[in-house]
Amino acid sequence: MTERRADSELSRRQFLVASAASAALAGTAAAQPSPAEPAAPLTPRAGEVLLRITVNGQAAQRAIDPRLSLLDLLREQLDVTSPKRGCEDGTCGSCTVLLDGQRVPACLVPAALCEGQAITTVEGLALEGVLSPIQAAFVRHGATDCGFCTPGQVVAAQAILRESWGPDDAAVRAALCGHDCACGRLPQIITAIQDVRHR
Amino acid sequence: MEWVRAKTVAEALSQAGPHSRFVGGGLSLSLLMERGVDRPERLIDLSELPLRTIEGRPGELRLGSQVRLAALIQDPMVQSLAPLVRTIAGQIATPAIRNHATLGGELLERTRCPLFRDPANVRCGKRLPGSGCAVLEGATYAGAIFGASAACVAPSASELAVGLAAMSAAVTLHSPEGLGERTLPMLDLYVEPGVHPERDHVLRPTELLMSVTVPVQPQRHFGYARLAESPLSPMASAAVMLEQREQRIVDARIILGGLSTRPWRASASEQLLFGQRPSDELLEKVAAAVLAGSKARSDSRHLPALAKQVVREALRRAVEEHAAHRR
């Protein structure tokens, strides 16, 4: 974790609490977004920006602090906790989500930039309780160990299936740049991805 | 803190000021804000502006500043007309970062000097003007061996600028202050720290980087080499342009990155190439000559060797590129 400065500035935690409170005041639940959520317009207060996004197929809107990262929006306000906070500089890959189908590090993407976009996390990959092919391959090949980074790795693997990388293992390894697995499961992850690619 | 979704370039410029930041992919900015290194009062979102196009024009390629690195890598025109751009963009950071990072953001990324990025360090003239430099006062960090001043040794961050300078690219800037539009050679975008290390480049706070124009130059061949410790920390890079006629070099450019406070042109080395036929001895001599004007400190005494290595390798690749095209 990176050191943060504890000084006169509003800390991230304080402003998260403040933003969550403002969401509650505006009549929105800080829970899983639901399709039944009212489309009634939210009025952002001074210093806030209105954000409408779709998370795993469900529409959500929030008035947010412009400094909020996509990762904190998901974890702290929408209760989507599979993307994890790891390195905070984009090298560990544990916060990876799909933004309009493209994998991005959610910890570095300002949430306010995602207006009108669709976000998919690992929660959105399984359909009606049936694992997606890449999830099943991770299980089959023992591609998870401690599990902390697994949601980000699975989302990245899902994206890699649609990206244009070469056919060999070395290409998949290059595609996984930015997913350091401290448990050493990179070979199994590569096998799982290759398995689905060759099916 | 305010977020402005600009609908037009004019609106974006009218909202800009000393305490605002333009937001492209927002990645580097997020990191600096999260750490409290940068504390802007207004963020101007550029995502709705028409700056995401890659345009082929007669003799040149125009790249909008908001084109994402992944789009640069995948674009067929970039691939055939400016392959060096693709080569370099494909090595920047990670695939996930490249999906969101923009050309403009990469060109204007702030230094990776860890003392600049550490808000607990209060001796950084780039962050706190006039506060000195922790590195020059003894903190352990290599820093730049080219272009450093008594106030700052922070190396510049952009990798694409190194290649684009070798390609004689130009940047177009737009300002509302009666300046209108101006176009500068890529190298003139950046400044050395001197006594004002807080400035990385010549852009005014109200000026927007609109596009980069790359001349199409089939007669020239390019080489790029890079040494990196990790995906996010390139240590040294070099881009080389060679133009040969009947085996002899008639034009050359050598640009260094990572080791300098701004993309660094090794003019003295270029001179040694004119009129010569490429040979191992020549490339070795040219690589050694790039150290003219370098200044290593005890923490950076390993860097001159890296500078020579990347230049030698980039030269070798440019020569090979030429040979491959003759076949």
B94 burial (CB, 10 Å; 0-12 / 13-18 / 19+) is buried
Q: Report the residue from B2, B95, B120 with minimal CB separation from A47.
A: B2
Q: How far apart (Å, rounded) are the C-alpha atoms in residues B201 and A99? A: 32
Which of A92, A113, A153 should we substitute to test contact with B (largest number of B Cβ atoms within 10 Å)?
A: A113
B95 touches chain A (CB under 8 A): yes
**pLDDT tens per residue, range B183-226:** 999 999 999 999 999 999 999 989 999 999 999 999 999 999 99
Model pLDDT, residue A75: 98
Q: Is A78 exposed, middle or buried (CB count within 10 Å of its CB: 0-12, 13-18, 19+)?
A: buried
Residue B325 CB partners (closer than 8 Å, separation 6+):
B221
Contact A47 B39 (CB under 8 A): no
In a 13 Å sphere around the CA of A44, the CA atoms on its Cβ side amount to 19
DSSP chain A: ------SSSPPHHHHHHHHHHHHHHTT--SSS--TTS--PPP-PPTT-EEEEEEETTEEEEEEE-TT-BHHHIIIIIS----S---SSSSSS-TTEEEETTEEEETTTSBGGGGTT-EEE-GGGTSBTTBPPHHHHHHHHTT--SS-SSHHHHHHHHHHHHHS---SSHHHHHHHTTT---TT--HHHHHHHHHHHHH-
Distances in whole angstroms, Cα of residue B106 to Cα of each of B161, B231, B249, B326: 8, 14, 32, 34
Contact B30 A93 (CB under 8 A): no
Is the CB of A177 less than 8 angstroms away from the CB of B95?
A: yes
Burial track A128-143 (b if 16+ CB lie within 10 A, e otherwise): eeeebebbebbeebeb
Nearest to B119 among A5, A93, A109 (CB): A5
CA distance B36 to B188: 30
Strand order in the sheet with B20-23: B2-5, B42-45, B20-23
How buried is residue A31: exposed, middle or buried, by Cβ count under 10 Å (0-12/13-18/19+)?
exposed
- Please report the pLDDT score of residue A37 as a whole number: 54
Mean pLDDT of the region A123-139: 95
Distance from chain centroid for Cα B16 = 23
Backbone angles phi, psi at A82, to 5 degrees: -65, -40
Q: How far is A140 from chain B (nearest CA, A)?
A: 25
Residue A6 pLDDT grade (very low, low, confident, very high; cuts 50, 70, 90): very low
Q: How confident is the model at residue A8 (pLDDT cuts 50, 70, 90)?
A: very low
- In B, minimum Cα distance to A112 occurs at B3
In the predicted model, is pLDDT for residue A13 greater than 70?
A: no
Residue A14 pLDDT exceeds 60: no
pLDDT for res A39 = 58
pLDDT for position A1: 38
Contacts of A187 (CB under 8 A, 6+ apart): none
DSSP 8-state symbol, B210: E
B37 CB neighbour count, 10 Å cutoff: 19
* Mean pLDDT calculated for residue range B122-144: 96
Distance from CA of B154 to the nearest CA of A (A): 19
Q: Residue B225 contacts by C-beta under 8 Å, 6 or more apart in sequence?
A: B237, B238, B309, B310, B311, B313, B314, B317
Looking at the complex, does the CB of residue B205 fall below 8 Å from at least one CB of chain A? no
Backbone angles phi, psi at A127, to 5 degrees: -105, 120
- What is the residue-averaged pLDDT of chain B? 96
pLDDT of residue A38: 53
- Mapping DSSP to helix (H, G, I), strand (E, B) and coil, where does residue B102 land? strand
Mean pLDDT for A136-160 is: 97
- For residue B325, the model assigns a pLDDT of 86
Per-residue pLDDT tens digits for B266-312:
999 999 999 999 999 999 999 999 999 999 999 999 999 999 999 99
Q: Tell me which of B254 and A28 has the higher pLDDT.
A: B254
Which region among A47-56, B60-69, B100-109, B174-183 has the lowest average model confidence (pLDDT)? B174-183
Least confident of A25-29, A72-76, B3-7, B78-82: A25-29
Higher local confidence (pLDDT), A199 or B52: B52
CB-neighbour burial class of residue A186 (10 A; exposed 0-12, middle 13-18, buried 19+): middle
Check pLDDT > 70 for residue A7: no
Q: What is the helix (H) or strand (E) element at residue B160, kind and residue range?
A: helix B160-166
Instruction: Note the pLDDT tens digit of each residue in A19-73.
Output: 443 333 333 333 444 444 555 668 888 899 999 999 999 999 999 999 999 999 9
- Residues 31-60 of chain B with CB under 8 A from chain A are 31, 33-36, 39, 43, 45, 47
The nearest CA of chain A is from the CA of B5 a distance in Å of 9
For A50, B16, B47, B201, B209, the CA distances from B12, given in Å and listed in that order, are 18, 6, 11, 20, 12
Closest CA to B95 of A58, A187, A10, A171: A171
Is the pLDDT at B313 greater than 60? The verdict is yes
CB distance from A10 to chain B under 8 Å?
Answer: no
Q: What is the mean predicted confidence (pLDDT) over B119-134?
A: 97
By CB atoms closer than 10 A (0-12, 13-18, 19+), residue B165 is: buried
pLDDT of A78 higher than 60 = yes
**Taking the model in full, what pTM does it have?**
0.91
* The pLDDT value given to residue B118: 96
Confidence (pLDDT) at B276: 98
Which tokens in the block code for residue A156? 């990245």
Average pLDDT over residues A156-165: 97
Q: What are the tokens at B6?
A: 């600009």
B248, pLDDT greater than 90: yes
> Average per-residue pLDDT in chain A?
85
Task: Indicate yes or no: CB of B96 within 8 angstroms of CB of A104.
Answer: yes
Sheet-wide strand order for B180-185: B54-57, B60-64, B208-215, B170-175, B180-185
pLDDT > 90 fraction of chain B, expressed in percent and rounded: 93
Q: Residue A126 and residue A134: Cα distance in Å, rounded? A: 10
Closest CA to B12 of B173, B228, B206, B264: B206
Lowest-confidence pick of A9-13, A76-80, B73-77, B308-312: A9-13
Once rounded to an integer, what is the mean pLDDT over residues B136-160?
97
Considering chain A, what percentage of its residues have pLDDT values greater than 70? 79
B residues 111-130 near A, CB within 8 Å? 118-120
**Complex ipTM, two decimals?**
0.94
> How far is Cα B174 from Cα B190, in angstroms, rounded to an integer?
16
To the nearest whole Å, the CA of A49 is away from the closest chain B CA by: 6
Query: Which residues have CB under 8 Å from A172's CB, separation 6+?
Result: A160, A165, A190, A193, A194
Q: Are B99 and A102 in contact (CB under 8 A)?
A: yes
